[in-house]
Amino acid sequence: MITRVAKNEDMLTGGVTLRHYFEVGESALECIQDGLRAAGAALPRKILDLPSGYGRVLRYLRATWPDAEITAMELAPDAAQFCADAFGAKPVVSRQPFWLVTDAGDGYDLLWCGSLLTHFDQDDWPPALKYFRDRLALGGVLVFTTHGNLSIGLLARDAAAVTTIGDWVGDYGMGSKAKEMSRVARESGFAFGHYGDDEGPFGLSVSSPEWVRETVDRVHGLEFVLHQPRGWFQHQDVWTFVRTE
């Protein structure tokens, strides 16, 4: 595996160690492999990593499938280019909203989306999911992550949730919004909050497994395969679907 790390890697802030950084990437690969096995899928020959960041997961995809054609789609141009230079990926610069991007193409056997829907309000989920579906070949595998019941419990400061995740109390920067978001999520299955006073398109979303299933079901052509609660590094839920139409 290529261990080169970009100097601008933003996943190494807040005291995150290199060991933790690499372990999170390896955990994502394990979840992806579990999803591929559950789907009965062949080894992927064409992969889309969206958003790729600076390759925290992509480096593992490259090491595992060295001959695959991998596309790194990322909002930060230097991150996409780093993935091209370091891991031989095709760089695609994203935009907001990302479902307007046409340069990524389609026909992918695997699409990995780690921690993106976790920052989208509910109205952005259907166009995002449709974009994922349309990038895949028939029989292609979609693997994405969500903030599930553990995260809802963390927002409420539930003792069981805090014990599960460790020392981190985990209100995700929501502050005074956290408990209300947890209450709304437990009542409706979904909650979203902006960070601080920012009213931009991104924030924090939490979603129950039932809400996720119902939302994906309304986007035709994606068949459920696997749900891994807290699958990604014992934190985010991991979902696998297959394109059927």
Q: How confident is the model at residue 165 (pLDDT cuts 50, 70, 90)?
A: low
Cα separation, 37 vs 27, whole angstroms: 15
Secondary structure letter of residue 54 according to DSSP: T
Q: What is the pLDDT of residue 199?
A: 76
Cα separation, 141 vs 178, whole angstroms: 33
98-112 burial by CB neighbour count: b if 16+ within 10 A, else e? bbebeebeeebbbbb
Domain ranges of the chain: 26-148+208-243, 150-204
pLDDT beyond 60 at 221: yes
Q: How confident is the model at residue 69 (pLDDT cuts 50, 70, 90)?
A: very high
- Average pLDDT (144-155) is 96
Q: What is the mean pLDDT of the chain?
A: 95
pLDDT beyond 60 at 167: no
Cα angle value 26/131/127 (rounded, 5°): 115
pLDDT digits (tens, 9 = 90+) for 14-63: 788 999 999 999 999 999 999 999 999 999 999 999 999 999 999 999 99
Report helix, strand or coil for 238. Answer: strand
Q: Contact at 8 Å (CB) between 236 and 147?
A: yes
Q: What percent of the chain has pLDDT over 90?
A: 88
Q: What is the pLDDT of residue 13?
A: 86
Cα separation, 232 vs 46, whole angstroms: 22
Which spans in the chain are helix H? 18-39, 58-64, 77-87, 125-135, 149-155, 159-165, 178-188, 209-217
pLDDT digits (tens, 9 = 90+) for 171-188: 888 999 999 999 999 999
Provide the residue type at 122 as one letter: Q
Q: Is the peptide bond before 77 cis (omega within 30 degrees of 0)?
A: no
Q: What is the pLDDT of residue 171?
A: 87
Q: How confident is the model at residue 196 (pLDDT cuts 50, 70, 90)?
A: confident
Two tokens, residue 237: 């839920």
Q: What is the pLDDT of residue 164?
A: 67
Q: What is the pLDDT of residue 245?
A: 95
Task: List, in order, residues 6 or more apart from 143 with CB less than 8 Å away.
Answer: 31, 32, 35, 110, 111, 112, 113, 238, 239, 240
Cα separation, 111 vs 46, whole angstroms: 9
Question: What are the angstrom distances between the C-alpha of 84 and each of 136, 144, 185?
Answer: 21, 22, 39
Class of 26-148+208-243 per CATH? Answer: alpha beta
Name the one residue in this structure whose structure tokens are 């398109």: 201
Q: Contact at 8 Å (CB) between 237 and 144?
A: no
- Average pLDDT (121-132) is 98
Greatest mean pLDDT among 153-157, 168-172, 175-179, 219-223: 219-223
- Average pLDDT (70-88) is 98
Q: What is the pLDDT of residue 16?
A: 87
Task: List, in order, residues 6 or more apart from 235 with CB less than 8 Å away.
Answer: 150, 151, 165
Q: What is the pLDDT of residue 166?
A: 56
CA dihedral (124, 144, 200, 126) in degrees, to 10, reads 0
Rg, Å, the chain Cα set: 17
